[in-house]
Amino acid sequence: MQAIEFAQDGTASAREVPRPTAGPGEAVVRVTSAGVCGSDISALHGTHPFRKPPLISGHEVGGIVDDIDPESADQLPVGTRVVIDPQWPCQTCGLCTRGDYHLCTRKAMLGVPTWDGGLADFVKVPVFTLVPAPAELDTSLLSFAEPVAVAVHAVRRAGQLTGARTALVLGGGTIGTLITAVLSTQAPQLEITVAEPRDHLHGLLDLAGAHSTVASSEDLPGNAFDLVFLAAGVPSLLETAATSAATGGTVVQVAVFSGSHPVPVGDLQIREITMVGTATYTKDDIASALDVILAKPELVERMVTFTEDWTDAAARITAIAADGPGEVMKLMVRRGAE
């Protein structure tokens, strides 16, 4: 079979590698959909904390069960469409046993040197990582559930949506756009505003469900939004998030920041603003993400750039790592879509 191998010289290339077989508690998935993430690009740069080349990367993966431990075949027979939850937790720590396995400090992630990723024809995973997908969803879109699940989990961390009237998303990149899509799908009563300086993204944000977009966060009203999602890693937006949140509102910190930054705790205290973090997702979030994908087909079509071939995908990944993504928002490899 073919797979994309990341080399230490910063290049990716298609290689012939052995095809895996399923052992006890394992399944082999025929990959029909694999996404390329920023973490893959940082892995190719050699700057990712645990994705170190040489390796087969790729943690945004969906496909069809090709081989499975016989003891699990009744539950997930060969031919089942699935999305892979790329987290392999320890399953024994306190976080895992209380249901917060996504926070396990000992978990492994798909696409590391010790666990070959999904930029390949076939990938071997524990059976417990598989999330069944609906038959009506094209298998070329299955891997898109992973980034959407990030947005679903962020929205879940905001708490109950029924009492909220207004929401602000700070940053209209991939995750900010997807948070907008999740909000508009799960809480259609919300008036959603997105602050995004790149004008060319405003049409996409409208398609995602934004009611208004602003180019500058300085134009936002203060004390106005029941929910605020910080989806851009810009330190000054920490203060913007707090001042924009309504009294009694909630700020969800989604973006990745490096280092420590001041937070306006006075606003949080005096106006009882709740500030919460969000990290990855759970299988329930992945299942909900599939519903969002089905609800927003035009948005998905606008966001995704497809390639059909591993060699072409490797060349594109190498180019993105060297020169940036250009017009590509989400690169996905589709293979034998159904």
pLDDT digits (tens, 9 = 90+) for 164-188: 999 999 999 999 999 999 999 999 9
User: According to the model, what pLDDT value does residue 265 have?
Assistant: 92
Q: What is the DSSP string of 274-333?
A: EEEE--S--HHHHHHHHHHHHH-HHHHHHHEEEE--HHHHHHHHHHHHHH--TT-SEEEE
CB atoms within 10 A of CB 26: 18
Q: Are 125 and 84 in contact (CB under 8 A)?
A: yes
- Of the candidates 121, 34, 120, 53, which has an alpha carbon nearest to the alpha carbon of residue 330? 34
Q: Tell me: pLDDT of 338 over 90.
A: no
The answer to whether residues 44 and 161 belong to one domain is no
User: According to the model, what pLDDT value does residue 259 have?
Assistant: 86
Q: What are the tens digits of pLDDT across the range 261-299?
A: 999 999 899 999 999 999 999 999 999 999 999 999 999
User: According to the model, what pLDDT value does residue 258 have?
Assistant: 84
Q: Which CATH number characterizes residue 191's domain?
A: 3.40.50.720
Q: Are 90 and 148 in contact (CB under 8 A)?
A: no
In a domain, 159, yes or no: yes
In a domain, 116, yes or no: yes
User: According to the model, what pLDDT value does residue 324 have?
Assistant: 92
Structural domains of the chain, count: 2
User: According to the model, what pLDDT value does residue 251 have?
Assistant: 98
Quote helix, strand, coil % in the chain, to nearest 5.
Answer: 35, 25, 40
Sign, CA dihedral 118-123-124-128, equals positive
User: According to the model, what pLDDT value does residue 20 have?
Assistant: 97
- Of the candidates 43, 42, 284, 39, which has an alpha carbon nearest to the alpha carbon of residue 145? 284
User: According to the model, what pLDDT value does residue 319 have?
Assistant: 94
CB atoms within 10 A of CB 329: 15
How does residue 327 score in pLDDT terms, banded at 50, 70 and 90? confident
User: According to the model, what pLDDT value does residue 141 have?
Assistant: 97
User: According to the model, what pLDDT value does residue 3 have?
Assistant: 98
- Measured between alpha carbons, how far is 324 from 14 in angstroms, rounded to an integer? 21
In a domain, 292, yes or no: no
Q: Are 227 and 167 in contact (CB under 8 A)?
A: yes
Q: For 309-338, what is the mean pLDDT?
A: 92
How does residue 46 score in pLDDT terms, banded at 50, 70 and 90? confident
321: Cα separation from own chain's centroid: 19
The answer to whether residues 155 and 239 belong to one domain is yes
Q: Are 15 and 55 in contact (CB under 8 A)?
A: no
Q: What are the tens digits of pLDDT across the range 115-153?
A: 999 999 999 999 999 999 999 999 999 999 999 999 999
The answer to whether residues 191 and 120 belong to one domain is no
User: According to the model, what pLDDT value does residue 45 have?
Assistant: 87
The answer to whether residues 59 and 28 belong to one domain is yes
Average pLDDT, the chain: 96
Tokens 């069944």: give the residue. Answer: 132
- Measured between alpha carbons, how far is 233 from 230 in angstroms, rounded to an integer? 8
Q: What are the tens digits of pLDDT across the range 237-266?
A: 999 999 999 999 999 999 988 889 999 999
Domain carrying residue 231:
150-277
User: According to the model, what pLDDT value does residue 330 have?
Assistant: 95
The answer to whether residues 253 and 210 belong to one domain is yes
How does residue 222 score in pLDDT terms, banded at 50, 70 and 90? very high
Q: Tell me: pLDDT of 49 over 90.
A: no
State the amino acid at position 290 in one-letter form: L
In a domain, 286, yes or no: no
